[in-house]
């Protein structure tokens, strides 16, 4: 006898991430019957509030609050407890906010497509079949497994999730990979008191940024006691008593470093394994990303994909904009698309943070643009006393300006409050506000935006 439970919905959402939950709320409020499937009860609300943005940035705050007299292990354990309390509250709040609506249902389990309108969850007597005319895929991304001998078997390997929930502070944390994730955890754990080593395969950190910006950022990290090895190719990991021995090659030499724990921060890939997308006729790339058009429709027009699963920028705010685009297709006039995105900023949350938007100097030069560069070290910006009031004068501000129009082509801000200031710059770029207009505007005092009053006069090329 078939004991499968059969459900129907107007819209089926796979994944509780930012894009999926935002769309689910709006569609429910518009009178649609929505079912959302999330594979883990630990991920209600998505990556950001559970294992991503919220816990990591909370750890940035806690680690920067540590005093010399604080005992490292106790301070760390108390900080982790604070993170757990907040993420648990967010998780419960996200579930209640959606599942508490009359026309919304949250189902926990792994979904798999049967055809392009139907998925199943669970097995045997617990099997549920859900059918919907519209489906949104918001399954996110997962860490890339590096092809390094001994990594997958090591008991001393930690994930980024582990590092936001760990009970003990490792004496020595080795991070394989110097991307955003690796650098943020390096900065956090160094401030908590761990010895930290970064093994980066590229010739320098932050290879996508201009040399001068990367040099300042690297200097700040090294100045805090983080050991940085570039051009490092990790060849093997071997467990030993109390830790792991990590062997790498750099500059023609083979070296082994011992670690209490290590993080393989070698990137993330779209989480499409096991979804059965082939049964739905949904096309994917060689890397497993769902192929979408500029309105986020897949190869099946009634199936959309949002967030990391599309292989695009892995930012929560991009996933949010994805939801706006999909909602415009389903509830609006259908004109909004990814082509509308201009000047999307990003922030690396080291201390102080590095925020960037638009073109680098290298990119402007490669495009043969007629541009000028305005650049000044934070410590030298007289109009910005906030840096001195909070005792954080490290960093640099750099702007790429169109020499003909005075418009801002790009910016790199390595400074206190950079994650906030960059939003003003990005808005100025979208609205064609000139550098002169930013320079002559009135800002509160003391504030970091006051730097605009001075830095645009510092033309260096």
Summarised one tens digit per residue, pLDDT across range 266-307 is 999 999 999 999 999 999 999 999 999 999 999 999 999 999
**CATH of the structural domain 346-455, one choice from 3.30.1360.120, 3.40.50.11060, 3.40.50.720, 3.30.390.30:** 3.30.390.30
The CATH number assigned to the domain with range 157-266 reads: 3.50.50.60
Residue 135 clears pLDDT 80, i.e. is over it: yes
Instruction: Please report the pLDDT score of residue 103 as a whole number.
Output: 96
Q: What is the model's pLDDT at position 80?
A: 95
**Cβ atoms < 10 Å from Cβ of 173:** 25
pLDDT given for residue 461 in this prediction:
84
pLDDT at 1: 40
pLDDT of 183: 98
What pLDDT sits at residue 114? 97
Q: Out of 3.90.226.10, 3.40.50.1980, 3.50.50.60, 3.40.50.2000, which CATH number does the structure's domain 5-142+269-340 have? A: 3.50.50.60
* pLDDT confidence of residue 167: 87
Q: What mean pLDDT comes out for the span 71-81?
A: 95
Question: Per-residue pLDDT for 2 more than 60?
Answer: no
pLDDT, tens digit, for every residue of 172-182? Answer: 999 999 999 99
- Across the range 71-85, mean pLDDT stands at 95
Cis upstream peptide for 352 (omega within 30°): yes
State residue 98's pLDDT score: 95
Token pair, residue 47, equals 């990556």
Domain span(s) for CATH 3.30.390.30 in the chain: 346-455
pLDDT on residue 32: 98
Asked whether the beta carbons of 20 and 138 are under 8 A apart, the reply is yes
Mean pLDDT of 205-217: 97
Q: What is the pLDDT of residues 309-343, one digit of tens each?
A: 999 999 999 999 999 999 999 999 999 999 999 99
Instruction: Specify the domain boundaries for CATH 3.50.50.60 within the chain.
Output: 5-142+269-340, 157-266
The proportion of the chain whose per-residue pLDDT surpasses 90, expressed as a percent, equals 95
Q: What does 14-58 look like in DSSP terms, one character per residue?
A: E--SHHHHHHHHHHHHTT--EEEEES-GGGTT-HHHHTSHHHHHH
pTM of the model: 0.94
User: Over 50: is that where the pLDDT of 368 sits?
Assistant: yes
445 flagged as catalytic: yes
User: CB under 8 Å to 32, separation ≥6 — which residues?
Assistant: 9, 10, 11, 103
What would the pLDDT profile of 347-363 be if each residue is shown by its tens digit? 999 999 999 999 999 99
Integer Cα distance of 322 and 327 in angstroms: 9
pLDDT at 125: 79
Q: If you average pLDDT over residues 392-419, what whole number do you get?
A: 98
Average pLDDT over residues 9-36: 97
Is residue 40 packed enough to be buried (19+ CB in 10 Å), middle (13-18) or exposed (0-12)?
Answer: exposed
Single out the catalytic residue among 61, 156, 302, 445.
445
């Amino acid at each position: 006898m078939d004991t499968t439970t059969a459900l129907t919905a107007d819209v089926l959402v796979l994944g509780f991430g930012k894009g999926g939950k935002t769309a689910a709320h709006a569609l429910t409020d518009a009178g649609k019957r929505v079912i959302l499937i999330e594979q883990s009860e630990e991920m209600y609300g998505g990556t950001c509030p559970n294992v991503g943005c919220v816990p990591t940035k909370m750890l940035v705050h806690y680690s920067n609050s540590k005093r010399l007299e604080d005992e490292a292990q106790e301070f760390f354990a108390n900080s982790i407890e604070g993170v757990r309390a907040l993420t648990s509250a967010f998780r419960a709040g996200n579930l209640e906010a959606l599942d508490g609506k009359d026309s919304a249902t949250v189902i926990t389990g792994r979904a798999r497509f049967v055809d392009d309108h139907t998925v199943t969850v669970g097995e045997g007597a617990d099997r549920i079949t859900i059918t919907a005319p519209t489906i949104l895929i918001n399954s996110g991304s997962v860490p890339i497994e590096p092809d390094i001998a001994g990594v997958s078997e090591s008991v001393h390997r930690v994930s980024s999730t582990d590092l936001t929930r760990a009970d003990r502070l490792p004496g020595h944390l080795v991070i394989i990979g110097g991307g955003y994730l690796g650098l943020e955890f390096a900065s956090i754990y160094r401030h908590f008191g761990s010895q930290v080593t970064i093994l980066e395969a590229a010739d320098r950190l932050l290879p996508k940024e201009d040399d001068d910006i990367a040099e300042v950022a690297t200097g700040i990290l090294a100045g805090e006691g983080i050991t940085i090895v570039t051009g490092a190719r990790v060849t093997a990991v071997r467990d030993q008593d109390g830790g792991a021995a990590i062997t790498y090659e750099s500059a023609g030499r083979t070296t082994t470093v011992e670690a209490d724990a290590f993080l393989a921060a070698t990137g993330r890939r779209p989480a499409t394994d096991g979804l059965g997308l082939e049964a739905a006729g949904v096309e994917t790339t060689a890397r497993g990303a769902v192929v979408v058009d500029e309105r986020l429709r897949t190869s099946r027009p009634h199936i959309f994909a949002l967030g990391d699963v599309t292989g695009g920028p892995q930012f929560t705010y991009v996933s949010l904009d994805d939801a706006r685009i999909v909602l415009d297709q389903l509830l609006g006039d259908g004109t909004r698309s990814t082509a509308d995105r201009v000047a999307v900023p990003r922030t690396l949350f080291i201390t102080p943070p590095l925020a960037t938007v638009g073109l680098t100097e290298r990119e402007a030069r490669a495009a043969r643009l007629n541009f000028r560069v305005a650049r000044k070290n934070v410590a030298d910006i007289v109009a910005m006393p906030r840096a001195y009031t909070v005792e954080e004068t490290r960093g640099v501000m750099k702007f790429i300006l169109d020499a003909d129009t005075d418009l801002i082509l790009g910016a790199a801000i390595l400074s206190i409050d950079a994650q906030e200031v960059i939003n003003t710059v990005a808005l100025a770029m979208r609205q064609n506000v000139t550098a002169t207009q930013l320079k002559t505007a009135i800002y509160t005092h003391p504030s970091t935006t006051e730097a605009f009053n001075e830095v645009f006069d510092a033309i260096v090329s």
